[in-house]
Structure formats: structure tokens, C-alpha cells
Copies of this chain bind each other. A is one copy, B any other.
């Protein structure tokens, strides 16, 4: 049995990733820790609680950082809707999260299960950066940390930066430099292997279950934005990341590179991935280079069955 902690700024693709993990057989989710990002903290917490309830599970949800380390939060309502789950009228309020601080739960759970915890980070890395700053030795106690974030080349918020790394670039910098074993699922990879076309969405919905309906319906705003931008489908970055966390073979090729994060104005949040080893620095991140789209879609289907 594997132990996961999922750190998430729960919006529409995080929710699908949560469904995948919550329904997966041999994985115990020790905690869902929420961080501000796509959604303000409070909304992300409610969305995570709703998703857990919908899956009929008891996993505790802990609220974490309410703001990036050094910058004001810039949420992504435009892409995920006001409530983060597509504004389709779900009852996303009133649930009560667990009492402890997400960062404390991260610290304690990692210490309780040394070398056992798989961290899946689906939002800005603020919670993880805080835990690692408080206790740098946690880096060596984590089994693996699979991060959705950054971009080997190109971005989605600026020409060079992906959202999670851009919202809290200092946190990303801290996490990448921490020495923790990190596997990176970047924006470029997600766009290529984690995109769901309208046909594929249709096939998913055709499963007819409440989870299938949920997973498809909450993409409403994201789908509209993607169509307006003439994209072939919606990018499910967090679900692809979860697929790789659940079944590592979903990543078909990886490489170890030195990765750092720019924090200055024009290039804020850009992940510098030294593929050509120009800097001749010790590699610190295993970057997923190719993935299996088929496997990803299979995992999606199995999750909502």
C-alpha cells in the first residue's frame, strides 16, 4: 500500500485528479492539503471537501497558506469559474475542514512515515516551501514529490511562465533547491499528453456515472475558454500528473536536469531547465519528457467507473 499527500489549489482539473486518486485501489491518501492558487484558499478547501464527499471517502482536508510567500495572490477565476468548478451550481460551501494547518500536517505526516510519502503537488508550491523552510530535513524523508508546474519551454500566463510557478516563484525556487526527489510534469508535457478532445470528453461522459458527469461538467468554463482560444481540447494538467503519480509508467521518458526559477519581472515564474547542461550544475529535478496519453485516458475512465 502506498501513502499519498495531495497538495492542491482545488479547481476544475485538481478535482478530476482528486477523483482519480480517491478511487484508486492501492493508495492511502493521508491528507489533502490545500493551498491558495487557482482559487482563494477558502474556495479551494470547499472544492476539495465536496470532491471527497462525492467520492464517498473520509480523507481529511487541511487549509494551508492563504497567500504566496512574497506576493499577493492572483487567482484564476477566468479559467475555472468563480467557484473553481465551472460555475455549474454545485453546493460548494459550508463544509468544515480538518482543524490543523496544512503545513503542520505535511511536516508531521512526512516524519511519521519516513521514505513512504508520495507528495503530489497540484498547485503553487507555497505549502511545501513553508514546510521545507521550517524543516529542511523533510526533503530527505519524502519518498517522491510529483509536481505539476513550470514549463520546459513556453508558458501559459506569460510567454515563458506556467501559472503554478508564476503565482509563487519564490516557493518554487525553494522547493526545487531543497534536495527533495522531484518529478516534474510541466505545462508543455501537459499540453501534449494531458489534453482531452471533445470526443474524448464525450467518451468519458458516456460512462454515465455521477463521477463521470462531475469530471466533465466542472470543465465548463475551462472548455469555453479553450474553445475561444482555438485549442483542440482542454488541458488536464493535474490529472496527467496524478496519472504519473499513480502509475509511474505513464511517464514514458524522463531526464534529470538542473532546474531553477526566475523571480524577476519579465520572466517571473519561468522554470529554467538546463537541458543542454550549459550551467554544468548538479541535476536536481527529474523532468518527464514524454508520457502515454492512452494510459492517462484509461486511468481517467477507470476512475469514474
- Residues of A at the B interface (CB closer than 8 Å) are 65-67, 69-70, 101, 103-104, 130, 133-136, 153-160, 170, 173-174, 258, 260, 262-267, 270, 272-276, 278-279
Which of B66, B134, B136, B153 is close to A153, meaning CB atoms less than 8 Å apart? Answer: B153
What is the CA–CA distance of A302 and B147 in the complex, to the nearest angstrom?
53
A interface: dominant SS:
loop
Instruction: Write the nearest CB–CB distance from A162 to chain B, whole angstroms.
Output: 11
Specify how many copies of this chain sit in the oligomer. 4
What is the CA–CA distance of A103 and B272 in the complex, to the nearest angstrom?
32
What is the CA–CA distance of A224 and B279 in the complex, to the nearest angstrom?
20
Instruction: Write the nearest CB–CB distance from A141 to chain B, whole angstroms.
Output: 15
Are B130 and A275 in touch, CB under 8 angstroms?
A: no
Instruction: Write the nearest CB–CB distance from A188 to chain B, whole angstroms.
Output: 10
What is the CA–CA distance of A154 and B70 in the complex, to the nearest angstrom?
25
Which of B135, B153, B160, B170 is close to A70, meaning CB atoms less than 8 Å apart? Answer: B170
What is the CA–CA distance of A157 and B101 in the complex, to the nearest angstrom?
37
Which of B66, B135, B159, B278 is close to A156, meaning CB atoms less than 8 Å apart? Answer: B278
Instruction: Write the nearest CB–CB distance from A278 to chain B, whole angstroms.
Output: 5
Contacts of A133 in B (CB 8 A): 65, 67, 69, 130
Are B157 and A278 in touch, CB under 8 angstroms?
A: yes
What is the CA–CA distance of A253 and B279 in the complex, to the nearest angstrom?
32
Report 26 cross-chain contacts, Cβ distance below 8 Å, ordered by A residue: A65-B133, A65-B134, A67-B136, A69-B170, A70-B174, A101-B134, A103-B134, A130-B130, A154-B275, A154-B276, A155-B276, A155-B278, A158-B278, A158-B279, A159-B272, A159-B274, A159-B275, A159-B276, A160-B272, A170-B170, A262-B264, A262-B267, A264-B266, A264-B267, A266-B267, A267-B272
What is the CA–CA distance of A260 and B154 in the complex, to the nearest angstrom?
14
Instruction: Write the nearest CB–CB distance from A285 to chain B, whole angstroms.
Output: 13
What is the CA–CA distance of A158 and B258 in the complex, to the nearest angstrom?
12
Contacts of A153 in B (CB 8 A): 153-154
Residue of B nearest to A135 (CB): B101
What is the CA–CA distance of A161 and B26 in the complex, to the nearest angstrom?
45
